[in-house]
Structure 1
Amino acid sequence: MHKTQADTLEFLQTFLPLLEATPEDRSVILCVPFTDLGTLSQNLHGSRVQVGAQNMHWESEGAYTGEISGSMLTELSVRYVIIGHSERRQYFGETDETVNLRLKAAQKHKLTPILCVGESKQQRDQGETEAHILSQLKHGLDGVDQNNLIIAYEPIWSIGTGDVCASDEANRVIGLIRSQLTNKDVTIQYGGSVKPGNVDEIMAQPEIDGALVGGGSLTGDSFARIVNHQ
């Protein structure tokens, strides 16, 4: 929950020029608050940057005050949507069942969902990391088309804490996630205190295809450094 429309325009003025030397094979998606989607879409024409939302409802319309439907997003040229982020699960009651409904609704509307999975510190300390993530995948991906999907592994204990999961451990868990998929080519990202100072090491890992960036994306120069990792 960052940035007004004016803040978004200021961010783009800094960020977009820094992408001129970015390798062509890198995809860049900005997942912004609902109020910024229109502004972002209008100012990215001709840019390589894609627009994503941070959540959506599973129904196409109805009496769901405060929610956003897939058609409302696609009308604004949104192509991606984050589903099941740990903060949605922690603060707003998201469950594997509702995550599954949202994933299928996103695909119905031709959106590419970014499914977030990950364990809490308590689950990791108790040796439950693998079992928890496998359960999230089993229930979340039921009936979901893996040919139109991105997955993000975000260890909850690392988000916003500055405590980064060791890159080799992130690689191991992401390898575990990939082993459970029927489509082994699904893009799997790492998310959790990704910043300019550690992105090169993270992205050097063979199983990690990309990064889901939080606080490190809030300034144009910081996020551009992450995008342009070595």
Structure 2
Amino acid sequence: MFKDQPRVLVVEDEPAQLEILAYNLESDGFLVSRARDGEEALLLIREDVPDVIVMDWMMPHLSGIEVCRQLKSNPETRSIPIIILSARSEDEDKVRGLEIGADDYVVKPYSVVELMARVRSQLRRSRPFSLGQDIEFEDLIINSETYKVTRGQIDLKLGPIEFRLLKTFMEKPARVWSREELLDRIWGRDVYVETRTVDVHIGRLRKELSRDGGADPIRTVRGVGYSLR
């Protein structure tokens, strides 16, 4: 089964608040992961990188601010949008959160409707295709309504797997994806597929992208994986 739902990690140590947030996000069409403290959050992020993180400031073991600091100092995770939730309403607390790298800061108590809007706002930056927008990279365009791919003025004919691979690359063009991450992203964790299958489909994607003489936009990072150039 292919996985196109945007993924949100909710990090909250209060069980009732965690479930309310998760319920509303799932009702809004998001795929939700849950963590009850900062250490668990970091473990989940290593296993499955989310598209957005909604995280409480004050938590046991490891605070949301410290998790934010660690994620934003790591090149592999610094682009993940982070929304900090906090009962601290003073301006200096907001400034501290934003200076550490949080992309948004929401004061408790908050409106769930407003928080959903803020999550979608962050997704428009990190994963626009999931919200029905076209995405572009140089002369490549993916149309989110027709699922067409064009390069320059030429329509490309991609299979469903090649389409999803290209979409994944274009949503985060600077990121290097390992074969294992692409398997999880495209095929899902519950399906067994050999890692070399990724190479086969990357080869097919490259062939179609270069069909009319265009340069190959996919970069192979030896020993790591693939990204756009």
Structure 1 length-normalised TM: 0.34
Task: Between the two structures, name the one with larger relative contact order (CA 8 Å, sep ≥ 6).
Answer: 1
Between Structure 1 and Structure 2, whose CA radius of gyration is higher? 2
Q: Which has the higher strand share?
A: 2
